[in-house]
Amino acid sequence: MPDNPNAMVIAIDGPAASGKGTLAQRLARHYGLPHLDTGLLYRGVALTLLDAGASLDDEAAAARAAESLIADRLADPRLRDRAMGEAASRISAVPAVRAALLAWQQRFAGTSAGAVLDGRDIGTVVCPDARVKLFITADATERARRRHRELEHRGETTTLAAILADIEARDARDAARSTAPLKAADDAVRLDTTHLDADEAFAAARAVVDRARSQ
C-alpha cells in the first residue's frame, strides 16, 4: 500500500462480466489514477504457458511463468479472447501463481497517489487497507448477455447458452478455490448493476468514492 496516507486506492471486485472493468477504467480516468485489470495478469500467465506448449495443469510451469511475467505481456490482444478467460480462471486457482502475482499487484497499488485495481480478491487480499472497496455484481443471465454482445461486436461466434455456462462454471470455481476465493470484503460497498447502465453504475460508484475522499 502507498506510504502517502492521502493516497486513494480503490479496490473493485466482482465476478466475470459484472461491469467492474469498465467501471474501474472510468473511475481511474475521472480521478487521474493508474488502473490495473488484475485479470490480465492471470491471462498473461495462461498465454505464456500455451505459447510454450505447456499444460495449464502444470503448476510448476505456471508458477515460473507468473514469477517472470512482465508488463509488456499485458498488451497482447490475445488476452481478450474468450478462451483466455477460461484459461485464466483455471490458472488463478494455483496458490503459487497467486503468491507470485500478489507482490506484482501490491507494487502497482503502492504508487504515491494511489491506484484503481479490479479483480476478484483486491479488497480481501491484495489491498485489504484500500480506502474504497466496491463489490460489483449482476445477475448471471444479464452478465452472459453483456459478454455475448461484447464478443459479437468483436466478431467472435458463440451462443448465449455457452457463455452463461462458462460464467456459471467460473463463478463456482472462483468462489470455491482454497486460496483467495471470490467474495466481498466485509467493509466493501456492494453495487448490483443488473438494472444499471454504464453511466448509472459510474455515478453510484463515484458517489461512494467521493464520500470516502471527503472523510
20 has binding-site annotation: yes
14 has binding-site annotation: yes
pLDDT digits (tens, 9 = 90+) for 14-38: 998 899 999 999 999 999 999 999 9
Share the mean pLDDT of the chain. 92
Report the pLDDT value the prediction gives residue 81, as an integer from 0 to 100.
Answer: 85
Cell numbers describing residue 200: 448509472
Cell numbers describing residue 147: 459478454
21 has binding-site annotation: yes
Distance of CA 128 to CAs 84, 171, 173, 184, 190, Å? 27, 22, 22, 11, 16
pLDDT digits (tens, 9 = 90+) for 52-108: 999 999 999 999 999 999 999 999 999 988 889 889 988 988 999 999 999 999 999
Q: Is 130 exposed, middle or buried (0-12, 13-18, 19+ CB in 10 A)?
A: buried
Global pTM reads 0.90
Domains of the chain in start order, with CATH, are 8-209 (3.40.50.300)
Report the pLDDT value the prediction gives residue 79, as an integer from 0 to 100.
Answer: 94
Report the pLDDT value the prediction gives residue 215, as an integer from 0 to 100.
Answer: 83
pLDDT band at 174 (very low <50, low <70, confident <90, very high): confident
22 has binding-site annotation: yes
115: phi > 0 → left, psi -120 to 50 → alpha, else beta; which? beta
Q: In what order do the strands lie in the sheet with 132-137?
A: 35-37, 114-119, 8-13, 132-137, 189-192
77 has binding-site annotation: no
Give yes or no for residue 2 having a pLDDT over 80: no
60 has binding-site annotation: no
